């Protein structure tokens, strides 16, 4: 039986929609990088994770890979960002520059994202 709402082996889990999108300015509200700000580089709705520029940096060992015409690509230790859970980041309100929740309002047929406390468009 699947735990925590995860899909069983061979089945795909339905990705819950996230209110954090690529290109958003966010602040980390939990974890070792709490208080750091960055821009969302990538989102993974299936796993509920985001990649934030300059946050949650890890060291990754890469193998020497001989590809391309030059045939010389170096291996070694690479510093890169790791995915963090979407619940550990908060959208930055463009007006007050403070963490805010995101919500939606409907303008006719259009669905527009807004920052919750002030109601300004994001």
pLDDT value of position 110: 93
Specify the pTM. Answer: 0.76
pLDDT value of position 15: 75
Query: Tokens in use for 115?
Result: 């920052």
Assigned CATH topology for domain 25-115: SH3 type barrels. (2.30.30)
Q: Rounded mean pLDDT of 65-81?
A: 75
Query: Tokens in use for 71?
Result: 């045939």
Q: Cα torsion for 86, 87, 92, 96, to the nearest 10°?
A: 170
pLDDT at 89 over 60: yes
Question: Where are the domains positioned within the chain?
Answer: 25-115
Who wins on pLDDT, 66 or 26? 26
Who wins on pLDDT, 72 or 94? 94
Q: Which helix (H) or strand (E) holds 93?
A: none
């Amino acid at each position: 039986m699947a735990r925590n709402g995860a899909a069983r082996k061979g089945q795909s889990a339905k990705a819950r929609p996230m209110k954090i999108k690529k290109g958003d300015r966010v602040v980390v509200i939990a974890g070792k990088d709490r208080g750091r700000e960055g821009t969302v580089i990538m989102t993974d709705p299936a796993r509920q994770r985001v990649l934030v520029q300059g946050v949650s940096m890890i060291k990754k060992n890469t193998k020497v890979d001989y590809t391309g015409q030059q045939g010389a690509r170096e291996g070694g230790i690479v510093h890169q960002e790791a995915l963090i859970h979407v619940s550990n980041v908060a959208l930055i309100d463009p007006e007050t520059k403070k963490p805010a929740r995101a919500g939606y309002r409907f303008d006719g047929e259009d669905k527009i994202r807004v920052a919750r406390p002030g109601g300004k468009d994001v």
